[in-house]
């Protein structure tokens, strides 16, 4: 099948491209990611993808970068979710200590669905216009994405523009893609791409860092308690040994007195 493969970045393309080539598909990668911000991040991911694709002799097409269209769809949902989270935080906070800003998971999922839809529909439109038989995506290699929603939106976009949807759950190959991209020295991003995901990823990293710090503190307290217990036992043992030594000294002195008295 002549396949237009939507791709978000280089590292996520490694295993999907390999597997789809093995399945006999004629691939062209389509970089359609109006969600990615800021501009420097968008360019850095594209450059990494282009460098790798050139080495692998895989064609790449760049889609139209339309951040305004993304903001009007997924961005609008993200802002609404943020407003709802802030209102909920204001209502629940007593001011005693700061609480984390919690985004409703359902709203986050809704935002991602809108993002997938925008990019897949663009991919399907371009595929139909340029004689491709079908569309696919590399997004399903990530365990951090909504795989079922990806499948749904890819199928919907393909049907709308009269091409086939070639979906595959690539998550089992995520570790291999990670290994290969690291060995190749490819640029690896630490967030999905949009400004919301960047903030969420940073918050999650901060939470993990705080959890590790708390865990280390707890273990330090446990070690201190264990050391205090060992010190107490050593002191108890030392006191016992000293007491026994005094007893032996007294007994020795009595035996010496008895011996002297009998002579």
Phi-psi region for residue 246, left (φ > 0), alpha (ψ -120 to 50) or beta?
alpha
- pLDDT digits (tens), the chain, 263 positions: 999 999 999 999 999 999 999 999 999 999 999 999 999 999 999 999 999 999 999 999 999 999 999 999 999 999 999 999 888 878 776 655 555 678 899 999 999 999 999 999 999 999 999 999 999 999 999 999 999 999 999 999 999 999 999 999 999 999 999 999 999 999 999 999 999 999 898 888 777 777 777 778 777 777 887 888 888 888 888 888 888 878 887 778 777 777 777 76
pLDDT value at position 95? 56
Q: Facing residues of 185 across strands?
A: none
Ligand-binding annotation for 112, yes or no, is: yes
pLDDT value at position 207? 72
- Is residue 233 classed exposed, middle or buried when 0-12, 13-18 and 19+ CB atoms within 10 A define those classes? exposed
pLDDT value at position 158? 98
Contacts of 139 (CB under 8 A, 6+ apart): 6, 8, 12, 116, 145, 150
pLDDT value at position 100? 64
Structure tokens at 187: 């640029």
pLDDT value at position 94? 61
Structure tokens at 15: 């295993």
pLDDT value at position 97? 56
Distance CA 151, CA 169 (A): 9
Ligand-binding annotation for 9, yes or no, is: yes
Ligand-binding annotation for 115, yes or no, is: yes
CATH architecture of the domain covering 2-193: 3-Layer(aba) Sandwich (3.40)
Q: What pTM, to 2 d.p., does this model score? A: 0.78
Q: What does the DSSP 8-state code read for residue 75?
A: I
pLDDT value at position 185? 96
pLDDT value at position 99? 57
Ligand-binding annotation for 192, yes or no, is: no
What torsion do the CA atoms of 233, 239, 240, 246 make, to the nearest 10 degrees? Answer: 170
């Amino acid at each position: 099948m002549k396949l237009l493969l939507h791709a978000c970045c280089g590292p996520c393309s490694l295993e999907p491209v390999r597997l789809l080539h093995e399945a006999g598909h004629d691939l062209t990668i389509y970089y359609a990611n109006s969600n990615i911000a800021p501009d420097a991040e968008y360019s850095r991911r594209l450059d990494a993808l282009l460098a790798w694709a050139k080495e692998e002799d895989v064609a790449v097409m760049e889609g139209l970068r339309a951040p305004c269209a993304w903001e009007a769809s997924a961005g609008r949902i993200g802002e609404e979710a943020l407003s709802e989270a802030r209102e909920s935080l204001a209502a629940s906070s007593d001011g005693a200590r700061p609480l984390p800003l919690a985004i409703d998971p359902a709203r986050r999922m809704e935002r991602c669905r809108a993002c997938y839809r925008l990019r897949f529909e663009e991919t399907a439109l371009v595929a139909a216009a340029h004689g491709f038989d079908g569309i696919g995506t590399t997004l399903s290699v990530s365990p951090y994405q909504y795989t079922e929603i990806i499948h749904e939106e890819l199928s919907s976009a393909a049907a709308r523009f009269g091409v086939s949807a070639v979906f595959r759950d690539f998550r089992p190959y995520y570790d291999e893609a990670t290994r290969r991209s690291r060995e190749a020295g490819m640029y690896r991003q630490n967030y999905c791409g949009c400004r919301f995901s960047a903030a969420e990823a940073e918050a999650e990293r901060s939470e993990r860092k705080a959890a590790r710090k708390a865990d280390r503190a707890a273990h330090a307290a446990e070690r201190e308690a264990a050391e205090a217990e060992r010190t107490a036992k050593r002191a108890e043992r030392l006191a016992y040994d000293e007491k026994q030594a005094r007893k032996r000294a007294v007994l020795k002195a009595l035996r010496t007195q008895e011996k002297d008295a009998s002579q």
